[in-house]
Structure 1
Amino acid sequence: MEQKINLVFKSQQAHKYTLRKSNARERIEKLKALKAVIIKNEDKIYRALQADLRKSTFESAVTELIFTYGELDFAINNLSSWVKAKRIGKTLSNPFAKNRLYYEPKGVCLIISPWNYPFQLTIGPLISAIAAGNCVMLKPSELSPATSEVVSEIIAEAFDEQEVACFKGDATVSTALLELPFDHIFFTGSTAIGKVVMEAAAKNLTSVTLELGGKSPTIVDKESNLEKAATKIAWGKLVNSGQTCIAPDYVFVHAQQVDQFIELYKAAASKMYFKTADQIDPNIYGKIISLKHYQRLKQLVDEAIEKGARICWGGTFDEQNQTIYPIILTQIPGNAKVMEEEIFGPVLPIVTYQNIEEVIDMVNAKSKPLALYIFSSNRKNVKYIIKNTSAGGTCVNDVLIHISNPKLPFGGVNGSGMGSSHGFFGFKNFSHERAVVFQRALDFNQMIYPPYAGKEWVFKMLKKIM
C-alpha cells in the first residue's frame, strides 16, 4: 500500500501543474461528472449507510445525499465568479498601481474523512478541492467500510487517479499518507487525532484545515418556547444516534423549568424514535458505529452514575445490536467524564442554573466548542450570550441548521478546529490567495529610494499621510 501511495503522490505532484491551468468551465464539468456518478450510485450509497450506521433512507437522504447535492450545485452555479481575480483598492502611497487578488490551487491535497457522516463529510471537502483546481488523495474511515467502498468506486469512475485517488484501510494508511509533503490537509475527526494530524503537517509546513468537535452547549433560558426547544434539541441530539460533531452535547435549563423540559424532551424523542412506549424503532433510530464506541459510551454513563449522577430517563443498552436508547442524565458532578469529554452518542446531560452569568462562566471554562445553541425569545439575552462566548458557529432557536447553508462558513475555533468549509469558504480554503500588484509607468516610488539627502520634504509628506 505504501508503494502505491508514493506512486500516486508522485503522479499527482506532476499533474498539479496541469490542473493549475484549468478554468472554471473545466472544473464545473468535473463537478457535473461527479454528480452524475453519485446519482447513478444512490441506491448503493443508501445500502452502505444502512449497513454501517443503520441509517434509514430518509435520514441518509436528508443528512448525506441532499446536503452533498446542494454543495455540488452551489459550487457549479457560483464557481465562475469565485475564480475571477478580485479588484483591490489603491493606497495613497501607491495611487497608480493596479491591485488584484488571485485564487490559485494549493496543489496536492489530502482529505481524511470520518465515519459518522461518511459520505457527506468525504465528498463535501472534495467538491471544494476540485472547485479550487487541486489534485486530491482521499482516506475514508475504516469504521464505515461499506460506505468507504462505495466512495472508492465513485472516485474511480469519476476521476483518473492522477487527479483524485481513494485509499481505503486502517490507521496505518493514514500514517503513511501523513508522512508525505502535501500542499494542504483537510481532516475531520476527533480533537485528539487532529493534534496528530497537525503535528505531522508541521514537519512539512503543510497548511491544515481541522474540523473537530468538542462539547457543544445548548442554553435554554426562561423566556424560550420550551416545547419547541425540547423538540429541536431531541432531534439534534438523537439524529444519527447522537454521532454528530455539532450535536447538542449538554443542555442548560433553568432550575424552575427542568422538570417540564425533561417531560417535553421525552415526549418529543418518543414520538420521533419509538414504535411503542418502551421500544425503539430500529428502522428510524441508528446504531452506534462499533462495539468499541458502544462500550465507551456505556462506560461514560456508568462512571457518571458512580459519581452521583442520576438517570431520569432511559438507560437501556443493547450490546448485540450496538444500540443505546436515549438517556437523560441529571445531577452530574463536574468531574464526571461525561461533562469533560465529547459524548458523541444519545446521552443528554442536563445542567440546571439560576442566572445566565453562571451559564456563561461554565461554557467559557471549557474549550471553545464547534457549535453553541441558544433558545430564547429575549433578544437582549441572545446578544449577551453571543457577545460573551466563543464558538465555531451558533444557532438561535434551532440546532444543526447552520451547517446546511453553503453561504455561511463552517468550522471550529481553537480546540474545535481551524479553517472553514462549504461554498466559497471551502473553495478559498483549498486555494492560495495570491496578491498581485501591477505597477504603472508613472509612480512615486523612487522618492523613497536612497540617497536620502535633500528628501526631508518627502519624510514630512509621508508623516502627514500616516
Structure 2
Amino acid sequence: MNQYSPVVEANPYQDIFDRLQARAPALARTTAAERIAKLRALYQAVYELRAEIGQAGHDELGMDGKMHLIPLKGEIDFFCERLEGWMGNEAVEDVPALMGRKAYIHWEPKGVVLHLSTWNSPVLISLSPLISMIASGNAVALKPSEVAPLSAEMVRQVIEKAGLADDVAVITGGPDVAQALLKLPFNHICYVGNNRVGRLVMEAAAQHFAGVTLEMGGKNPAVIERDADLDDAAGKIAFVRHLIAGQVCLCPDYLLVHESIKDAYVAKLIEKITAFYNPNGEGFQASADLPRIVNERHTLRIKALIDDAVGKGARILMGGEVDPAAKYVAPTILDNVTEDMEIFQEEVFGPVLTIHAFATREDAVREIAKRPKPLGLYIFTQDRETADWYIDHTRSGSAAVNNAAIQANVATLPFGGSNHSGIGRLGGKAGFQEFSNGRAVVEDALDPAQGAPMFYPPFPAEAAAYVDFLLIPN
C-alpha cells in the first residue's frame, strides 16, 4: 500500500446497512395487508410487554411507562383503516398540458431509513414514527436514546417479539453509534431531539443527499390574554407544563400574560400547581404524580439555568429547589427574566416557567419574534377575533387555542416544527407521505393510435402564430 494512501476504517454497522438495503426491494413490493399485519404485530408485542415498559418508565423518569403508550393503539388503528387507500395511485387534476394523457402520483418507499429517537417518551417516540416508516414499506435502522437504556432495551424486545427484526434493526449505544450510522448512505434520516444534534444530522444527510425529518422542539410561548378564563388557563398550563416534569417538546416554556391580569393569573397558577402536586402539604418532592428529570446531568443543567437567571436579577415566585441526586426539580416560576439570561433563549425541558407581562397584543407578538419559530404556540382567550389575530400574526409548527400540547398525536393533523423547531411532518397520512416518494407518472395510451397527439418537426408556418395564441393572457 502506498504510504500516502488514506486509511479508511470499516464502518461497524455496514453489515446491518447492507442487510437492510438488500431487504428494501422486497419490502417495497409488500401489500397493504402485509404491512397492516406488521403494524398489528407491533402493537401486540407492545401490549404483551406493557408491564415491563411501564417499569422501565418508572425507573428512568419516575412515571409509569405505560402512560406513554396510550397514543400508539389509536395511531396504528388509524393507519390500518386507511393504508390501502393511501398506497393506491393518487389521481391528479386533468390540466391542458396533459393533452388527454393519464397522470397520477405513485407512492413508493424512500428505501432505507435511519431513525434516531430521543429519551423523554422513549418507547413512544421510537415506535410512533416507525409506524409511518413500516406503513410506507421501508427498511429501518432504529437507534433509541442511550439516555433511557432500559426503555431502549424494551424497544429492542418489542421489535423481536413482533417478528420484525428482518425489517427493523434496533441498534443501541451512545453518540459514537449515532455518528457511525450517520456516515452510511441512508435514503432518509428521522431525528427527534435538540437543535445542536439536528444540525449534525442535516450535515451528515447532505453528504448522501438523504432526506431529513427533524422534530426539535423549542421555546414554546403561551399567551394569556386579558379576557382569558384564569381558572381554566391556569389549570391547563399547570398540568401540561409538568407532563413528564416538563420534558415534553410541546410544553409551554414561557408565559406572556397581559399586564392587567398578571398578578391574579400567577396566584391562580401557583394555586393549581399546588393542588395538583402538593395537595396535602407534604412537599412537591413527595408527590407520586410529579415525574423526575431523566438523569443527574440534565437536572444540573436545569439548575444552572435557574441559578444564572437568579444571579442576573430574576425573581423566584415559586419553587427553585433542586435535588440533583434525586433527579428532582421543584415546580418553578420565574419573573423579571431578561434577554441576557440563558433561560430567555434556551429550551428548559423541565418544570420551570418564566412570566412576561405585555401591554398590547402587538407587544406580545414582538416578544415571540425575538426567538426562533417554536414547535407549539398557545393562545388563551374567550374572543374569536383575538384567537384568529394571534394565529395570523405569529408563526409556529403547530398551535392550540385555550389548551396546550393537545395537537400532538392527532392522526388527522400533520405534526412538526418550522425551521429551528423542525423540518417535515409526522403522523397519519402526512407521516405516510413523509417516508414515501411521491413519484409523478404520466401515461400515454398503450395503443399509439389512441394516444394523445405529438408534434414533431418540421413545423408549419402556422406554428408560430399558434404559439402566440397560446401565450395570450387570460
Q: TM-score range by the shorter chain?
A: over 0.9
Deviation at 1:4, TM superposition (A): 5.3
From 176, 183, 197, the equivalent of 1:193 is 197
Question: 2:5 — aligned with what?
Answer: none
Match in the other structure for 1:217: 221
Say which of 400, 408, 411 aligns to 1:403. 408
State the alpha-carbon separation in 2 of the partners of residues 125 and 96 from structure 1.
Answer: 39
Given residue 307 of structure 1, which amino acid in structure 2 is its aligned partner?
K
Structure-1 residue corresponding to 2:384:
379
Q: CA distance change for structure 1 residues 431 and 211 in 2, over 3 Å: closer, same or farther?
A: same
Q: CA deviation at 1:458?
A: 2.4
Q: Indicate whether 1:363 and 2:371 are aligned.
A: no
Confirm or deny that 1:314 pairs with 2:319.
yes
Q: Does the 8 A contact of 2:444 with 2:452 survive in 1?
A: no
Question: Which residue in 1 is equivalent to 2:470?
Answer: 462
Aligned to 2:19: 11
How many Å apart are 1:142 and its aligned residue?
A: 0.5
Contact 1:2 1:173 in 2 (8 A): no
**Pair 1:37 & 2:45 matched:** yes
Of 329, 335, 338, 1:330 maps to 335
TM-score (norm 1): 0.96
Work out the CA distance in 2 between the residues paired with 1:448 and 1:189.
55
CA distance in 2, matches of 1:177, 1:308: 44
Q: Secondary structure at the match of 2:122?
A: coil
* Structure 2: 5+ residue stretches without partners: 1-8
Q: Which residue of 2 aligns with 1:180?
A: 184
Give the length in aligned residue pairs. Answer: 462
Return the letter of the residue paired with 2:77: D
Change (3 A) 1:282 1:308: same
From the superposition, tell whether residues 405 and 2 of structure 1 become closer, same or farther in structure 2 (CA, over 3 Å). Answer: farther
Equivalent position amino acid for 1:45 in 2 = I
5+ residue gaps, structure 1, are none
Which amino acid in 1 is paired with 2:383?
A: N
After alignment, is 433-442 or 149-158 more displaced? 433-442
Q: 2:76 aligns with which of 42, 48, 72?
A: 72
Q: Does the 8 Å contact 2:99/2:453 carry over to 1?
A: no
Q: Distance in 2 between matches of 1:318 and 1:444?
A: 75
Q: In structure 2, do the counterparts of structure 1 residues 388 and 180 end up closer, same or farther at CA, with 3 Å as the change threshold? A: same
Counterpart-to-counterpart distance in 2, 1:89 and 1:450: 32
* Cα drift, residue 275 of structure 1: 4.8
Asked if the contact 2:374/2:418 (under 8 Å) is kept, the reply is yes
* Distance across 1 between alignment mates of 2:187 and 2:466: 43
RMSD of aligned Cα (Å): 1.7
What TM-score do you get using the length of structure 2 for normalisation? 0.94
Partner in structure 1 of residue 112 of structure 2: 108
Q: Equivalents in 1 of 2:373, 2:457: separation in Å?
A: 48
Q: Given that residues 8 and 162 in structure 1 are in contact (C-alpha distance below 8 angstroms), is that contact kept between their aligned partners in structure 2? A: no
Displacement, 1:259? 1.3
Q: Secondary structure at the match of 1:81?
A: helix
Give me the identity figure in percent: 34
1:51 maps to 2:56: no
Conserved? CA contact 1:129–1:427, under 8 Å:
yes
Q: Check whether the contact 1:403–1:410 (CA below 8 A) recurs between aligned residues.
A: yes
Q: Which of residues 298, 303, 312 is equivalent to 2:303? A: 298
- 1:404 offset after TM fit, Å? 2.7
1:123-155 deviations in Å (ceiling 9; x for gaps): 001000000000000000000011001111111
Give secondary structure in 2 for the equivalent of 1:127.
helix
Q: Provide closer, same or farther for how the CA distance between residues 21 and 192 of structure 1 changes in structure 2, counting only shifts above 3 A.
A: same
- Candidates 28, 36, 45, aligned match of 1:28: 36
One-letter amino acid of the counterpart of residue 405, structure 1: V
Map 1:221-232 to 2 at 5 A: 221-232=225-236
Please say if residues 113 and 139 of structure 1, whose CA atoms lie closer than 8 Å, have aligned partners that are also in contact. Answer: yes
